[in-house]
Amino acid sequence: MRADRLLQIMILLQNHGKMTTRQLAEALEVSERTILRDMDALSAAGIPVTAERGKAGGWKLLDGFRSALSGLKLDELKSLFLLPSDHLLEQLGIRPGGLELRRKLAAAMPQTIKSSAQQYLEKIYIDTGAWKPSAGSQTETLRIVLDALLTDRKLRIRYQKAGGETTERIVCPLGLVAKGSAWYLAAMHGQAEYRTYRISRILHADVLPETFVRPPHFNLAAYWNENKARFAASLPEYEIEVLADPSIIGRLTFTDKFVQKSEIGEAEAGGRLPVTLRFDTEEEALAYVLGFGGKMKVIRPKSLIPQIVEQARAAISLYANE
């Protein structure tokens, strides 16, 4: 792609100082005529590239522009190495090349701070993918949504709510947010009514020819953080107290997808440990306790105990004639 080549030309000139048309053509495996057209494109875009004639001539970036990286602070340079994961970039249809890109950045850095910043290339890797990839793929839907987003066109979606209900609506896509391994669409529905849609719940999407005017004051990061805080505050909380066998304490303290928080007290006379667990719902608490069988006994709330007994009896009845 031409945009990639223009960026490569800038990096080559940043690293080498000066290069001839022939040297650039050989490095990028294109014709010299293509390089000359690229230089015209860079100049038209406001990039200060100049040509020096003569035996020692060649193309170069103006000194002030070429040294722009030198003006960055160390923490700012370090942040350049902490790129999004290749997994997220691939889902957006972007060829990652993260390692090569960071090597190029390192080559362009001032020598005095290069080694300090380059440690982030060698010692930190960000992976947002799940341990086991899910069977369904949200990539195709994501690409369609991204197309509408980048061209400011309306999007018709068929969306499945958490309860299973399916609706169809036309929205104006305003931004995409990656949260963990999931993608969310921030969109305008109706007159300045903002909503969030999980990409994996979009059953079908069509980009419409009709365009829309993006709200001038909409800020994606601010909207997402406000929406996230509001959602977290609205979540219900269900707290239980149990006595747990010491053999399962390790599982209780390991990160769990259902438990919001666990607090472990001092051991009782029988060796069991009092534990306070917090869940979003009663159903999650019930399933969690049953999963530990006789290793966990509910103390509070008392109303949960009959439900546990009923579920346990149902399980026994299911296997009674096996």
The helix (run of H) or strand (run of E) holding residue 233 is helix 220-234
First to last CA, the chain: 64
Tokens encoding 55: 């035996």
Q: Enumerate domains of the chain plus CATH numbers.
A: 1-66 (1.10.10.10), 75-129 (no CATH), 139-234 (2.30.30.520), 238-319 (3.30.70)
Q: Note the pLDDT of residue 102.
A: 62
Contact between 160 and 201 (Cβ < 8 Å):
yes
Residue bearing the bigger pLDDT, 108 or 305: 305
- In the chain, % of residues over pLDDT 90: 24
Residue 172, number of CB atoms within 10 A of its CB? 22
3-state DSSP assignment of residue 56: coil
User: Which residues does 81 contact at the CB level (< 8 Å), separation at least 6?
Assistant: 102, 105, 117, 118, 120, 121, 124
When pLDDT is cut at 50, 70 and 90, the band that residue 98 belongs to is: low
Q: Mean per-residue pLDDT for 120-145?
A: 70
Are the beta carbons of 120 and 75 closer than 8 angstroms? no
Residue 243, classed as helix, strand or coil, is strand
Say which amino acid occupies 71. Answer: G
Residue 212's CB is within 10 A of a number of other CB atoms, namely 17
**Does residue 298 contact residue 240 with C-beta atoms inside 8 Å?**
yes
- Considering only CA atoms, which of 42, 44, 83 is closest in space to residue 59? 42
> What was the pLDDT predicted at 235?
72
Per-residue pLDDT, 223 = 92
Gap between the Cα atoms of 182 and 185, Å rounded: 10
Q: Quick one: pLDDT at residue 205?
A: 94
Instruction: Return mean pLDDT, the chain.
Output: 79
Closest CA to 46 of 19, 6, 14: 6
H-helix or E-strand spanning residue 294: none
Nearest residue to 259 via CA among 230, 292, 306, 295: 292
Beta-bridge partner residues of 182: 179
Q: Which of 233, 223, 145 is nearest to 183 (CA)?
A: 145
Highest mean pLDDT: which range of 1-5, 10-14, 139-143, 231-235 = 139-143
**Tokens 């949200």 -> residue:** 138
State residue 201's pLDDT score. 92
Q: How many CB atoms lie within 10 A of CB 49?
A: 19
- Please write the tens of the pLDDT for every residue from 194-203: 999 999 899 9
DSSP 19: B
The pLDDT value recorded for residue 96 is 56
Mean pLDDT for the stretch of residues 221-235: 85
Mean pLDDT along residues 155-170: 91
Q: What is the pLDDT of residues 239-287, one digit of tens each?
A: 889 888 888 887 776 655 556 566 776 776 678 888 888 888 888 889 8
